[in-house]
Chain A
Amino acid sequence: MPTTVMTERIAVRSPQKSPAVRASFPVKAREQEQVPEPVVEMRAIRKTFLDVVANERVNFSLRPGEICALLGENGAGKTTLMNILFGYYAADEGEILIHGKKVSFASPRDAIACRIGMVHQHFTLVPSQTVLENVVVGSSGGRFFLDMKRAREKLCALQKRFGLAVDPDAPVWTLPIGGQQKVEILKALYRDARILILDEPTAVLAPLETRELFDTLRTLAAEGCSIVFISHKLYEVMEIAHRVVVLAKGVICAERSVSETDERELANLMVGHELAGKTATARKAGAALLSVSRLTVRNDKGLDAVKDLSLDVHSGEVVGLAGVSGNGQMELADALFGLRVPTSGTIVLDGAALPDGNPKSRVDRHMGRIPEDRMTTGLMLDLSVEDNLVMEHHGDFRRSGMLDREAIGDHAEGLMCDFGIKADGRRAPARTLSGGNLQKIILARELSADPKVVVAAQPTRGLDVGAIEYVHGRILEARDRGAATLLISEDLDEIFALSDRIAVLYEGRIMGIADRKYATKEQIGLWMSGIRDVLCA
């Protein structure tokens, strides 16, 4: 947090020092011609992380007074592109022009000097300091003394102008999330930002707060600010944006004026790639082994992330739970795993209710759990492969109060062979294994104990093709042995490839459930975007 603040320090001086730049900004968009000169032009941007291509041949431009939505699935490269514009990342190829002048940003401070502001998903505020202190921090302009009086006047003027009401003297930690977001926006405006990037700003907001934010954004745009709005909620995009740019797999796949498109077309464009033909054979499902009823779970911020959710998973079926990330998947999985205590509702496994917030009961009652975060939740990277394989059942390897190392070793050798875990011996620290092999450790541990219920959260995220295929095979195998499997995934290909039924999670609720045989990607895409459609009868 402090580093971000530090890096901004020098930059904020520049606007005052460069009247030339300021003069070139159009005062009001409407007074300009129909197609005004773009304020930002990104040309042929390419960015890779190791061997993953995040952006490829991206041409993106932004006009004055325009609200442009960047739409795309998780990992489509939206945030990466904007981080390049904000100077966080340097593009491997391509160039950026601000007001037609080529620029090269070494860090966000250079971007701020060009009057670009960015509000990240995770705020960069100092919780114990007041709103005013947070806004001015780093903007002393190199002077020794802070002129708090002038700073306060400037802040209040900004607040009045853009309808961003927050008490300047309130400590930031006392503010609701919406209030903290206002502080972030004020911080950018205080540094004279004319180009504002908002990364999924509504993900953390309550509906009323979203209204307020949209009002502010409209005012800003009317005053000539250009705004990039990253989102995957279609109705919001339709409501607030003038123009939509759709990114898929790092490439811009469509660009539409909002008046020329509708939600259905956007949903298709967003998930529009061809879905894999390979599918699992549907099977006759048996009794409901996992019953979730009326479950409500709060997220870390105290807001309801899962709302009154009910879902049954039967023996011998895979229910795929699709959805854009941040719609309650993590909280639901945590509640199922026993890591998070729901505020209400029950989870019943094979006829018996599971005690809330008790992971041990899940282990004892044979729930196979594949957590989303294998590095920090599923495994202990500093321990050996064999120790990780007995993480949950080490109590079974007890001989007169002591750990039976020999039995643990045999157990590990067996599983490493069965699941093809490649490691430098069973004593090797888990840290030394590849991602695919780490996931195999979890699969071996969770699926070899013949689970009645399997809950898998993002089981193939970050894995290579071969490992993905392996994981899919093992999950289907568990299903074929009669396990009731809940697959929580943001990867639609995966959902379609494995599921017998597909449910869509949107804002903590099930938007709909469809049999995979009859489900279409179009319909699922609409559900994922929060649109309930009559089409899908």
Chain B
Amino acid sequence: MRLVLKKRAPLPPWIRLLVPLGAILVTLLLSAVPILAAGGALWPSYASLFKGAVGTRYNFLETCVKAAPLTFTGLAVAFAFRAKFWNTGAEGQLLAGAIAATAAGVASSNLPPLLALLFVCGAGFLAGGAWAAIPAVLKTKYRVDDVVTSLLLNYVMWHIMGYLLFGPLQMPGSSWPRSAAIAESAHFPILLAKSRFHLGIVLALAAVFVVWFINSKTVFGYQARAVGVNQKAAAFAGIGVKSVILKTALLSGGLAGLAGVGEVAAIHHHLLMDISPGFGYSGIVIAMLGQLHPAGVALSAFFFSGIAVGAQSMSRITGVPTYIADVIQGMALLVMLVALLLTEYRIQAVRD
């Protein structure tokens, strides 16, 4: 007896909607194992996780706050992957965006708020896009593998940021790697009282819509998808494959850059070495979990954020360490990948 994978007949499209939901459910069930292993009581743990994530107004809004950068990086990755530009460098692009936003924000003390905000967002978007353009140019011009270059450029940008924070951007008089505060006019306004619900969250939702619109309504969206599904046929049809990849990279990197802008302009108001706890890397997972669909990305970003925020209250109440959030997030990806495999294949036992 052995098990083999057999190709399935195509499943109806509504299954696509059920798959992520099912995957999340299975993930939560499987999470019982590490929770129990960490000595947590099962039901109180789940309850505190849930309550911590969305149980109160404040917690719900906190989950939204954390979901914003994840939505941006998730969209960045999803948009790039759809055109088979394997952008694994959202982290570096986020940092580039954060650095540019800081520089712009510090310099915009004399600007009125609207202009300052536009300046900061524009700078962050362009910096992220430019950073993503490097692997795109290398890929289209010299056929260098984009997975590797975009990933490794994350470390390059991290070290550039280190240099800047110990050098030109360091807050005068400080010995810590920390920039000067950005001008007040460049702060993202808080939109709901007694919370940190800021402009960036609205921008993230707008970005979800914009990406959806580009993907499904525009000529460019059609071309990007064509390049994604079959580059050779796209070239045959006269689509400028290189230009599509480059534009995709610019937009993808720009979206990741906006994640960095939000962290600087809405949360920290400074640039710090630990400005991002790996939002860019999580973006890859979130894009996969959301099946590269903008709405799916938004939902899975919210799920990821909820787990991270909820794990903190769970930790406070039941003593299960907050690292459980990482475990659950990792499991979510694995379960999702298995679920996707099972939508295309079925497992069959074969007698030898």
The answer on A and B forming one complex is yes
Asked if B219 contacts A391 (CB within 8 A), the reply is no
For B218, the chain A residues whose CB sits under 8 A away are 401-403
- A402 in contact with B217 given A371-B236, A380-B229, A391-B237 (CB within 8 Å): yes
A359 interfacial contact with B, CB 8 Å? yes
A383 interfacial contact with B, CB 8 Å? yes
Q: Separation in Å of the B76 CB from the closest CB of chain A? A: 22
A369 interfacial contact with B, CB 8 Å? yes
In chain A between 377 and 397, which residues have their CB closer than 8 angstroms to a CB of chain B? 377-383, 387, 391-392, 394-395
- A391 in contact with B10 given A398-B219, A402-B217, A403-B217 (CB within 8 Å): no
In chain A between 346 and 394, which residues have their CB closer than 8 angstroms to a CB of chain B? 359-364, 369, 371, 376-383, 387, 391-392, 394
Q: Separation in Å of the A448 CB from the closest CB of chain B? A: 15
Asked if A380 contacts B238 (CB within 8 A), the reply is no
B110 interfacial contact with A, CB 8 Å? no
- A380 in contact with B217 given A391-B226, A403-B222 (CB within 8 Å): no
Residue of A338, A378, A380, A398 with most chain B CB atoms under a 10 A cut-off: A380
Chain A: residues with Cβ within 8 Å of the partner, total of 30
Asked if A359 contacts B235 (CB within 8 A), the reply is yes
Q: Separation in Å of the B225 CB from the closest CB of chain A? A: 7
Asked if A376 contacts B232 (CB within 8 A), the reply is yes
Asked if B225 contacts A369 (CB within 8 A), the reply is no
Q: Separation in Å of the A98 CB from the closest CB of chain B? A: 27
User: B219-237, CB under 8 A of A: which get 1 and which 0?
Assistant: 1011101100110111111
For B240, the chain A residues whose CB sits under 8 A away are 360
Asked if B237 contacts A392 (CB within 8 A), the reply is yes
Q: How far is the CA of A376 from the CA of B240 in the complex (A)?
A: 17
Asked if B234 contacts A380 (CB within 8 A), the reply is yes
A433 interfacial contact with B, CB 8 Å? no
A4 interfacial contact with B, CB 8 Å? no
A44 interfacial contact with B, CB 8 Å? no
Q: How far is the CA of A392 from the CA of B222 in the complex (A)?
A: 11
Q: How far is the CA of A377 from the CA of B232 in the complex (A)?
A: 6
A205 interfacial contact with B, CB 8 Å? no
For A395, the chain B residues whose CB sits under 8 A away are 219
| Pick from A380, A402, A432: contact of B226, CB under 8 Å | A380
- A383 in contact with B226 given A401-B219, A402-B217, A403-B218 (CB within 8 Å): yes
In chain A between 429 and 448, which residues have their CB closer than 8 angstroms to a CB of chain B? 429, 432
Asked if A387 contacts B10 (CB within 8 A), the reply is no
A339 interfacial contact with B, CB 8 Å? yes
Asked if B233 contacts A380 (CB within 8 A), the reply is yes
- A381 in contact with B236 given A394-B219, A395-B219, A403-B218 (CB within 8 Å): no
A105 interfacial contact with B, CB 8 Å? no
User: B233-260, CB under 8 A of A: which get 1 and which 0?
Assistant: 1111110100000000000000000000
**Contacts from A to B (Cβ < 8 Å):** 337-339, 359-364, 369, 371, 376-383, 387, 391-392, 394-395, 398, 401-403, 429, 432
**Contacts from B to A (Cβ < 8 Å):** 10, 217-219, 221-223, 225-226, 229-230, 232-238, 240
12 A-B pairs (CB sep. < 8 Å)? A339-B232, A359-B235, A360-B240, A364-B238, A376-B233, A377-B232, A377-B233, A379-B230, A379-B233, A382-B229, A403-B218, A403-B221
Q: A371-B236, A394-B219, A402-B218 are known; give 20 further A-B pairs, CB within 8 A.
A: A338-B238, A339-B235, A359-B236, A359-B238, A376-B232, A377-B233, A377-B236, A378-B236, A380-B230, A380-B234, A381-B229, A381-B230, A387-B226, A395-B219, A401-B218, A403-B217, A403-B218, A403-B219, A403-B221, A403-B222
Please list the 3 inter-chain residue pairs (A to B) with the smallest Cβ-Cβ separation, ordered nearest first.
A360-B238, A382-B229, A391-B237
